[in-house]
Amino acid sequence: MTLPVTAQATAPQILARCRDLVRPAFTQAVQRLHPWPAEMAAFSLGWSNVGGRLVPGSHGKGVRQALTVLCAEAAGAPGEDAVVGAVAVELIHTFTLLHDDIMDGDETRRQRATVWKAYGTGPAVLAGDALFALAVETLANARTVHSGAAVRHLAGTLNDLVRGQAEDLLFESRPWTGPGAVRPDEYRSMAEHKTGALLGCAAGLGAVLAGAPTSTVNALAQAGRHLGVAFQVVDDLLGIWGDPQVTGKPVHSDLRRLKKTYPVLAALATDGPAAGRLAALLTSDHPLDDTAARRAAELIEDAGGRSATLTEAHHHIDSARDCLTSIPLAPTAVGEILTLLQFLVDRRM
């Protein structure tokens, strides 16, 4: 007897289906902006070049919009019901990238100039504000009885996002060692606010727009927050050990920039001999050259920073899975969310 084969969608297929579902409303929303911020938004999204000429091809994975659609489906509604939330979440995500790049002084993103670098700081501030305003308006004017609840859900997220970015910026001026050093648990709190809040919002909004009960909204939002922290620490691993061909960033880029990421902070917190040598290297008062950055990466690994980060990522993925099994949900959608979880934590490693 032959068992029937269930054709299970792959992560790229799931992401593509959600992008196709959300794209028309997303494009229409951006077109409602004043032409100038609209051009900057399209540039930031990879849709066009400076001057507004359209760029064909792929435009990012769209993890957040997919999570919103899949969580609505998991809560028993058609994905279409969540499109307005998916659009709002992508608008907020783009707004945070635009403003964070200004605050961090980052000149490139995804191998292109950042918006402030291409258009100037003032215009980039304006474009971010425009996207923020559009996200709020999109949800507030959504033609659904859940519009008010959706706005409240987003509003709670926004404050967490700002809090996370404030914490991240303040980390930069703190020392590597001693009582003022950034502890791994402080980093976790920052990541929960900054990356966790937006993915939690993406997931929760899907459930809210599906009209799900509070317990379902909370469980899905919590799963999203765990996914966000996992996503962040995997990013940190890629910033040190990622393949430059795949990440689009130079090798050891986060180390050269002396960025306080989880692997470094976890390594320093072990307080052993490798941590001591790492601290000496990081506090030597000049930027790390090729040799020093390679040495720092080795010391982080020796001190256990790399494995601690992997453990942290897996802990959050497991917690996200627990959230998804804690309540009754549509099994196909949950299967797709789990496929996505695995894909995101395994990406480019």
Site of interaction with a copy of itself (CB under 8 A): 32-34, 36-37, 99, 102-105, 121-123, 125-126, 128-130, 132-134, 136-137, 140-141, 147-148, 151-152, 154-156, 158-159, 161-163, 165-167, 169-170
CA terminus-to-terminus distance, the chain: 39
Asked if residue 326 lies in contact with residue 216, where contact means CB atoms within 8 angstroms, the answer is no
DSSP 3-state of 334: helix
Sign of the alpha-carbon torsion through 33, 160, 219, 14: positive
Nearer to a copy of itself, 139 or 300 (CB): 139
Q: Which is nearer to a copy of itself, 161 or 327 (CB)?
A: 161
Least Å from the CB of residue 140 to a copy of itself: 4
HEC per residue, 251-314: CCHHHHCCCCCHHHHHHHHCCCHHHHHHHHHHCCCCCCCHHHHHHHHHHHHHCCHHHHHHHHHH
Question: Could you tell me the smallest distance in angstroms from the CB atom of residue 21 to a copy of itself?
Answer: 24
Query: Whose Cβ is closer to a copy of itself: residue 14's or residue 116's?
Result: 116
Beta strands in the chain (DSSP E): 108-109, 112-113
SS3 label, residue 48: strand
Minimum CB distance to a copy of itself smaller for 32 or for 110? 32
Closer to a copy of itself by Cβ: residue 134 or 229: 134
Mapping DSSP to helix (H, G, I), strand (E, B) and coil, where does residue 108 land?
A: strand
Least distance from a copy of itself to the Cβ atom of residue 322, Å? 29
| CA distances for 35 relative to 4, 32, 45, 52, angstroms | 53, 8, 15, 10
SS3 31: helix
| Min dist. Cβ of residue 344 to a copy of itself (A) | 26
Q: Based on CB atoms, which residue is closest to a copy of itself, 18 or 97?
A: 97
Q: How far is the CB of 130 from a copy of itself (least distance, A)?
A: 4
| DSSP label of 99 | H
Contact of 225 with 202, CB cutoff 8 Å: no
Tell me whether residue 152 or residue 183 sits nearer to a copy of itself (CB atom).
152
Taking the complex as a whole, how short is the minimal distance between the CB of residue 236 and a copy of itself, in angstroms? 21
CA nearest neighbour of 319 among 204, 256, 225: 225
Residue with smaller CB distance to a copy of itself, 61 or 99: 99
